[in-house]
Structure 1
Amino acid sequence: MDVFRTLGKQLKSHPALIPLFVFITIGGGMCATYVGRLALRSPECSWDRAGNPEPWNNMKPTAQYKLFTVNQDYSKLKKDRPDF
């Protein structure tokens, strides 16, 4: 807790640093959120080796797994891979 007290004193004496700490905190939170999303929702990442070692084979061709796409309607895609 001594670190936060020292940080508070420094921010009171140098208020121009407050936006820097705010944006660094927001950026760190966004990074952690994106890495968590990649680890939990990406078909390339497999946490259950025994039950489903290849989860990308169970993805439907109409499933959207990308974070951001431009002008792409996944419901109209056709199946372009074989069943295993």
Structure 2
Amino acid sequence: MGFFQLLMKKKELIPLVMFMTVAASGASSFAVYSLWKSDVIIDRKGNPEPWENVDPTVPQKLITINQQWKPIEELQQVRRATR
């Protein structure tokens, strides 16, 4: 008995299968989306400090409300001194 034959025989399983498919695809797509974020490090040897390349004007969260960015002067002085 195949999967689709089982669904046709027991029609009450169709919504459950649909909900599980939507949940699994949503979880998978969010996992793939999270891999492209700047705070996820996949290759530590090729780029050990990827947060240095982050554009501060681009929001990094899924939803950003009233984000304002200004550089911290002390941090900028430390960066200039270490370069």
Alignment-derived partner of residue 14 in structure 2: 18
- When residues 79 and 60 of structure 1 are mapped into structure 2, their CA distance, relative to the original with a 3 A threshold, is farther
Structure 2 length-normalised TM: 0.73
Displaced runs of 4+ in structure 1, greater than 4 A? none
Q: Once superposed, what is the RMSD of the aligned Cα atoms? A: 2.0
Structure 1 length-normalised TM: 0.72
Provide the aligned length of Structure 1 versus Structure 2.
76
Could you tell me which runs of 5 or more consecutive residues in structure 1 were left unpaired when the two chains were aligned: none
Higher relative contact order (CA 8 A, sep 6+): 1
Could you tell me which runs of 5 or more consecutive residues in structure 2 were left unpaired when the two chains were aligned: none
- The CA distance in 2 between the partners of 1:72 and 1:14, in whole Å, is 50
- Greater Rg by CA: 2
Alignment-derived partner of residue 55 in structure 1: 50
1:36 matched to 2:32? The reply is yes
